Amino acid sequence: MNKIPFLELKEINSKYIDDITQHCEKTIRSGWYVNGTQKKQFEENLARYNKLPYAIGTSNGYDSLRLIFKSLIITGKLKIGDHVIVPSNSFVASALAISENGLIPEFVDINKDDFLICKNSLIDKTTNKVKAILIVHLYGQICWSNELKQIIERHNLIVIEDNAQAIGAELNGVKSGAIGLASAFSFYPGKNLGAMGDGGAICTKDLELYQIIKAASNYGASNKYTHDILGDNCRLDEIQAAVLNIKLPHLNDENTKRRSIAKKYDEGIRNESIQLPKLPSQQLSHVWHLYVIQVENRNDFQEYMNLNGIETMIHYPIPIHKQQAYKKYNDINLINCETVQCKIVSIPLNSCLDHQSVEYIISTMNKYQIN
């Protein structure tokens, strides 16, 4: 019987291994390992890819988010104590970056069909204390619409993007990460563009913010040993940048493969007990970082899949407002978040899944019967 792991990183990276090895060797032989030409090149490549003027390589996705909010405070665009909207169905980093900077997360609910920020909840939660919103392009799909835009503009909110899961997605020709004032990217190995260790980036179209973030990521240094602000050390190292410089040109192909698998699932999975994810109105606006279905009897379903050799996961089993770390928020009600939280299951979807595995996953799911 087939064994299908949720994700096999060594397989994903094997097709690039010769190029990467060569490129890393060059970097090792250069003798320059931090703040060098690889990072600079990657920043240029990433900015161009996103059709934006500025990109800054960082240590990881969380640090990227953290630095954006820190820099918004330094530039006076936000002040400590301001409230920031963030969806509760996300990875905890989205909220932590807000809390870490003395800002107050204001958790909003999601839609039950696409898992993105719910506009009614946004209207509800946008008091006059709210000054910014962190839109999360969850599971790889762009979280943006005319309705959200109108609400956001009416309240004059600063828009920041958590683009850890959606690199390469685009809506009306605009890349995810180029919608708001600044955006955070993660190159955690399992992301659509994965490094071989931790890595991240920030993109922005704002020159002042770019300069502050760039300094803030490197000890607040405008020049070496000149420190104008209280900075951090959040640099992307040369080896990771070298890996990413090799992989970025292949990202569109990887995302295209993901889309074709999502399409096969959408056309092939027919089971009344299984609700498939809603397709986006624009195909390109989704890069399918995750394929998340909903099923009533989740434990049963996962056990069934497991018995048939298919590994599944849950993203995420506990909404952020229900976490111990966010105890103060445990009693708020975000009804859609809490409803889908017991039903969501992520099934394998990555650029290495072959046709046979996809067909096997589909037929296994079609044979599933709820007990």
Ligand X SMILES: *Cc1c(COP(=O)(O)O)cnc(C)c1O
Which stretches of the chain bind ligand X, using CB under 6 A? 60-62, 90-91, 93-94, 136, 162, 164-165, 186, 188, 198, 200
Looking at the chain, how many residues does it have?
371
CA atoms within 13 A on the CB side of 263: 10
Smallest distance, ligand X to C-beta of residue 198, A? 6
Alpha-carbon separation of residue 347 from 23, 165, 290, 315, 364 (angstroms): 34, 16, 8, 10, 12
Determine the Cα–Cα distance for residues 33 and 240; give it in Å rounded to an integer.
10
Nearer to ligand X, 90 or 255 (CB): 90
Give me the DSSP letters along 134-195: EEE-GGGB----HHHHHHHHHTTPEEEEE-SS-TT-EETTEETTSSSSEEEEE--TTSSS--
Contacts of 251 (CB under 8 A, 6+ apart): 49, 167, 168, 192, 193
Please list the residues that pair with 110 across neighbouring strands.
117
CB of 221 to ligand X, least distance (A): 23
Would you say 320 and 90 are in contact if contact means Cβ atoms under 8 Å apart? yes
Collapsed DSSP state (helix, strand, coil) of residue 321: helix
Cβ at position 270, least distance to ligand X in Å:
30
Least distance between ligand X and beta carbon 29 (Å): 28
- CB 269 within 8 Å of CB 276: yes
Q: Which residue's CB is nearer to ligand X, number 88 or number 165? A: 165
Cβ nearer to ligand X, comparing 178 with 234: 234
Question: Cis ω on the peptide bond leading into residue 360 (within 30° of 0)?
Answer: no
Tokens 């079609």 correspond to 366
Which residue number, 165 or 275, has a Cβ lying nearer to ligand X? 165
Min separation Cβ 185 and ligand X, Å: 8
Distance in Å, CB of 79 to ligand X, minimum: 24
**Closest to ligand X by CB, 165 or 341:** 165
Which residue, 94 or 336, is less far from ligand X as judged by CB? 94
Whose Cβ is closer to ligand X: residue 216's or residue 269's?
216
- Specify the residue, 137 or 214, whose C-beta has the smaller distance to ligand X: 137
Which residues have a Cβ under 8 Å from the Cβ of 242 and sit 6 or more positions away?
A: 20, 23, 24, 26, 27, 38
Q: Nearest-CB residue to ligand X? A: 61
Which residue, 186 or 308, has its beta carbon nearer to ligand X?
A: 186
- Cβ atoms 244, 187 nearer than 8 A: yes
C-alpha span between 229 and 251 (Å, rounded):
35
Shortest reach from residue 201's CB to ligand X, in Å:
10
| Residue 134: CB minimum distance to ligand X, A | 9
User: Nearer to ligand X by C-beta: 269 or 292?
Assistant: 292
Angle, CA 56 vertex, CA 66 and CA 142 arms, to 5°? 70
Alpha carbon distance 34, 106 (integer Å): 37
CB of 358 vs ligand X, minimal distance in Å: 24
| Cα-to-chain-centroid distance, residue 230 | 27
Cβ of residue 186: shortest distance to ligand X, in angstroms?
3
